[in-house]
Structure 1
Amino acid sequence: PILQHGGSVIYGSADDIVDYIEATFRDPPLLLEGSAGMDRTCPAVASLCLLQHRSILFHVEKVVKISEELAATKVNSSTISPVKAGLAMKIKKLSSEYLRLVELMQEHAQMEERTMFPVLENADKGLTELVHADHARDLPIMNGIREDLKSVLALQQGSCVHNEALVALATRLKVFQVLLGDHFDEEERDILPLLETVGFGSKQQDAAIESCVIIMEAAHGRLLPYLLQGMPAHEMYQYLRIVQKPFQDP
């Protein structure tokens, strides 16, 4: 690639071009750095995981906001039909958003458990006990919220039970948001930095990224626009750069 900037012409690999851009235009950075002990030297699989965390939290915030708007919208038997129709559409939107989020999160957890955690467990079996426990805790919560959504869709709009169900759903989603944020903070603080310590070589990283793409089939297929939607442009760029690298010709 060739980049011309003012009177300068930069030749080299894509990495050389990115390094020049990073050094010349520092805000915002193209490459992820400075988060919970992560920097540009961390293994690519750790950066990929961190970027997925950010996207997931973006979408969790989105569904929480929709649920809170629904909980604040009170309808009863005298509410006019267009308002009820709008409420029904928003509930269906919440359900659709949540189902996509759950699918992404389940693939993300599988990716961690099948690519990153075994590497750490080879070094010390106790390293991943807490995050495994968090994964086991979160699945029933996610399934419970999904059942709550089914109930909300089935209940009669305007009834007291329906209004109470919307409030309860918003509360459960908010609690889950807090738990998930704590879980991701724990992984980013205590788990991801260890991948560099245990010696993830470049060949291992490429193999791990390739496995991540294969395991997260939906996330890197039909859900890829959804995944990338949760990232600012410079993080989208980095994410795509990471997942494409193992599949490029040497």
Structure 2
Amino acid sequence: MGNCGSSKPCRPSPTPPEKPALVVRLYGSDSCPIAWRIRISLLYKGVAVQFLPSDSPIIRGPLLRCGADVMTGSAYELLQYVDSRFPRPPEVATDGVGKDTEVALAVAARLQHRSVERHVDGMVRRAAEMAEKGGGKRKTTMTTMTAMTAVAERSGIARWYGELVELMLEHAQMEERLVFPTLERIMHRGVREVALANEQHARDLPMMNGIKEDIKSLMAMEVGTSLYQEGLQNLVFRLKTLQEHCKEHFQEEERELLPLFEAACRARREERDNSRWLEQMMGAMGATHSHLFPFFMAGLLPQEAMQYVDLVCRWIKDSQRVVSMLRSLTVPWEEEHTRRPLFATVP
């Protein structure tokens, strides 16, 4: 289980290595999206991988050496080999996920919902733990270490919430720019659902800003006082309210709006090419698919994470951007010098 209730974003749990002596060597261009995708799949499975940049004109595409095995081929063939050689879940060969634009758009939107939900759930748990384990202790009974820990947790939850708000706002803005106008223009019967979704967005924004102000006030309070404890309890209440609103809003979108949106995309197919729609969706969420990408991916379960990687590689045509996104997922692993899966396994 990941400690999504920590002061940091959802972090994965340590994973024992498959075989301590086995190191997989991956040869490929540092600018090749396929090479980076293979590397991500191996790191995720907890396999030690040595990436050796190679721009050999003889070998076309990445080459994988695992013991006596030497493998080349398409991305899907290499991912199939990784799954067969290292069967621990999840499967990383997700060929076929989101081949149709309409399906891909719906899959991407639902995965974004899941990430937001789990980050909110994690913040609720963490704030509740902070309130339970010592926010109300008298200052005279708090050790220096306890006070320092409380301050660090407070700062961590402030950073966590800041990134969460950025992700939530960008997702909402993407829907307002791309999804809702399409429904209103093509599917007139979706106007009522669009109006309701816009109303929910407007309702949640003051609540999100209020939580931000609560955290800001908490940062200025003295740890261990009754006022600080009251502030923590209020934060827990506000976060639980946001949690309920998010679940309700996402359920309604997935039950009402997304099926209408898929139908609208099919109708649009008769008028023009749909192939750039998912790329436009991801382009409209610049922060989520750049500096927030590791944070966003940390809220996905294993199979969900690999589905999103598949969508990124399939639908974003800018290979440099894809490489940058995948490279960012390796940074936490490299910084911690420990072999862990890259994505959260939160309940």
> What's the TM-score bracket when you normalise by the shorter of the two chains?
0.7 to 0.9
| Higher helix proportion | 1
Say yes or no: does 1:89 pair with 2:171: no
Give 1:207 shift.
Answer: 2.2
1:228 corresponds to: 297
2:118 corresponds to: 58
Secondary structure, counterpart of 1:192 in structure 2: helix
Equivalent residues, number: 236
What amino acid is the match of 2:226? Answer: C
**Take 2:75 and 2:193, find their aligned partners in 1: how far apart are those partners?**
36
Secondary structure, counterpart of 1:153 in structure 2: helix
What amino acid is the match of 1:62? Answer: G
Say yes or no: does 1:135 pair with 2:197: no
CA pair 50-160 structure 1, distance change in 2 beyond 3 A: same
What amino acid is the match of 1:117? Answer: F
1:148 corresponds to: 214
Give 1:126 shift.
Answer: 2.5
CA contact (8 A) 1:51 1:231 kept: yes
Give 1:127 shift.
Answer: 3.1
Give 1:28 shift.
Answer: 6.0
Q: 1:201 aligns with which of 252, 262, 269?
A: 269
Instruction: State the Cα RMSD in Å.
Output: 3.2
TM-score of the aligned structures, taking structure 2 as reference length: 0.60
1:159 corresponds to: 225
Give 1:140 shift.
Answer: 0.6
Say yes or no: does 1:213 pair with 2:282: yes
Say yes or no: does 1:245 pair with 2:314: yes
Q: 1:177 aligns with which of 235, 240, 243?
A: 243
CA pair 16-80 structure 1, distance change in 2 beyond 3 A: closer
Secondary structure, counterpart of 2:276 in structure 1: helix
CA contact (8 A) 2:90 2:302 kept: no
Secondary structure, counterpart of 1:127 in structure 2: helix
Give 1:97 shift.
Answer: 0.5
What amino acid is the match of 2:277? Answer: A
Give 1:157 shift.
Answer: 1.6
What amino acid is the match of 2:300? Answer: M
1:7 corresponds to: none
Query: Unaligned stretches of 5+ in structure 1?
Result: 2-11, 32-38
**Cα distance per residue 1:88-142 (max 9 Å; x no partner):** 1101111010000000001110111111111111122333011111100111100
2:7 corresponds to: none
CA pair 83-119 structure 1, distance change in 2 beyond 3 A: same
Give 1:66 shift.
Answer: 1.1
CA contact (8 A) 1:209 1:243 kept: no
CA contact (8 A) 1:206 1:245 kept: no
Q: 1:168 aligns with which of 225, 230, 234?
A: 234
**Take 1:16 and 1:115, find their aligned partners in 2: how far apart are those partners?**
34
TM-score of the aligned structures, taking structure 1 as reference length: 0.82
2:179 corresponds to: 116
**Cα distance per residue 1:152-186 (max 9 Å; x no partner):** 00012222111101101011101110111110000
Query: Unaligned stretches of 5+ in structure 2?
Result: 1-60, 62-72, 319-347
**Take 1:169 and 1:109, find their aligned partners in 2: how far apart are those partners?**
23
